[in-house]
Structure 1
Amino acid sequence: MISIIVPVLNEEKTIIKTITNLLSLKGEKEILVIDGGSTDKTVSLAKTLVKVIESPKGRSLQMNTGAKNAKGNILWFVHSDSIIDKKSLLNIEKTISKGYIGGGFSLYFYDTKNIFMKFIAITSNLRGAFGKIFFGDQGIFIKKESFISIDGFPKIPIMEDFEFSLKIKKIGKMKLLKSKIGTSSRRFTKGGIFKTFLLMQKMKLLYLAGVSPDKLNKMYREVR
């Protein structure tokens, strides 16, 4: 069974659509919404459809909480603004059956036709296909036993998916699926597309150079 883990914080505008999308998927599944302290109607809305679990705020903490409560042997982490292909669960199971321990989906932005945003999606998919580095909006999935073996997502406020990818690809094969996952361009349009792109590249370089996640998180919040 695949446990679908959705970390949320004040996502009342998207949560019902996301859950409905996930419920329609073919395949054995459970859906866990992990709330980090929403102050809007996210929790009350989600509870009408699926199980909601409270967690300390922070995406890595919320995803780890979801993993601890998951009953499935495969974990799939999905952002609350994602649009999912109907064959996603079947494609995940097929990939795992071929000896991969996990992977991610091919990214696209569903709410913009901006050429540079298409470039960002293409480079993200190339990074996943050849570098085996997957970011959260690509719908990371992983065998639960492999997830546990590296102690889950690192307990850091930012770059948790980047660090997770660096660790997980050392213990097994990861695959970028041709199957697509849609994500919103809202964080790019809000902060300026090119400006946000440069900020993200800067953050990755600084992280690799040894700058602490706490300092990077502060920088990210101040700029955003």
Structure 2
Amino acid sequence: MPREGRSLTWVKPGVEAPKLSIVIPMLNEALGIETALALLQPLRETEVEIIVVDGGSTDHSVALATPLADTVVVSDTGRARQMNLGAERAHSPALLFLHADTQLPEGAVEQISQALSTHCWGRFDIQLEGHSRWLPVVSTLMNLRSRLSGIATGDQGMFLRREAFDAVGGFPDQPLMEDIALSKRLKALSPPACLGIKVVSSGRRWDKFGAWKTIRLMWRLRYRYWRGVSATQLAKEYRNAR
């Protein structure tokens, strides 16, 4: 198994740098990682590299992901650390951070390329899928909030130019709200490109803990973060609430 600083990498000899690097953080995703990566396989033939960064899974996630990715690397636990390490391993001038339970829409790579020709970063609209009948409402509110605030969430598939990622210092090393913090840093460079085509993301969190309970929890945590409460403290509250 690879350790931090070492990776299992497949490099196509004589091929130029990929046009997009997709960085996927994962932790104990054995039930779904094969399906998620299988959907991305056609992109590997179109100058797109897939980098999976494991945060110390105790299941078979790494073994399942290795044949379906260009690079698999094991990091310390923490989504921000995992994504930063994945960015270090990336070879493309364009980065896409994609959650393991999120699927890209058709034409996503072309849309990203077009968006990054005029913006330094952006994100997709989102469609949450699950059992709760409230998920379409949650999705609509997430998209509206993001357009009004210029803040993206990791579930929305954040993409950006490598130079912008480096300019803001990547994701801050914090256990929660790393996507919000990165969005705020990037907003200082430019507003985001808000793509109307939708990524499809799992609503398992809302299904498991209840839609409105989860909404209240996330809004409370965001409000407290805005008021200056540390991400470390909020991460403890989030774990306790779950």
What range describes the TM-score normalised by the shorter chain of this pair?
A: over 0.9
CA contact (8 A) 2:120 2:164 kept: yes
Gaps of 5+ in 1: none
CA apart distance, 1:212 = 1.0
Backbone CA RMSD of aligned residues: 1.2
Q: What residue is the counterpart of 1:91 in the other structure? A: 111
Distance 1:147 1:173 in 2: 14
Structure 2 counterpart SS, 1:10: coil
What is the TM-score with the length of structure 2 in the denominator?
A: 0.89
Q: What residue is the counterpart of 1:220 in the other structure? A: 238
Distance 1:82 1:24 in 2: 16
Q: What residue is the counterpart of 1:200 in the other structure? A: 218
Distance 1:184 1:148 in 2: 30
Provide runs of 4+ in structure 1 moved above 3 Å. none
CA contact (8 A) 1:104 1:128 kept: no
Deviations for 1:82-132, whole angstroms, at most 9, x for unmatched residues? Answer: 1211211111001112x1111111100123361x22111111111222321
CA apart distance, 1:164 = 0.9
- Structure 1 position 8 matched with structure 2 position 26: yes
Question: Which one of 15, 28, 38 corresponds to residue 20 of structure 1?
Answer: 38
What is the TM-score with the length of structure 1 in the denominator?
A: 0.96
The number of residue pairs the alignment matches comes to: 222
Q: What residue is the counterpart of 2:177 in the other structure? A: 159
CA apart distance, 1:210 = 0.9
CA contact (8 A) 1:10 1:38 kept: yes
Structure 2 counterpart SS, 1:106: strand
CA apart distance, 1:223 = 0.6
Question: Which one of 41, 58, 76 corresponds to residue 60 of structure 2?
Answer: 41
CA apart distance, 1:24 = 2.1
- Structure 1 position 81 matched with structure 2 position 101: yes
CA apart distance, 1:193 = 1.1
1:145 alignment partner AA: E
Question: Which one of 119, 128, 134 corresponds to residue 109 of structure 1?
Answer: 128
Structure 2 counterpart SS, 1:7: strand
Distance 2:123 2:40 in 1: 16
Distance 1:38 1:48 in 2: 17
Q: What residue is the counterpart of 2:8 in the other structure? A: none
1:104 alignment partner AA: R
CA contact (8 A) 2:130 2:207 kept: no
Structure 2 counterpart SS, 1:44: helix
CA apart distance, 1:201 = 0.2
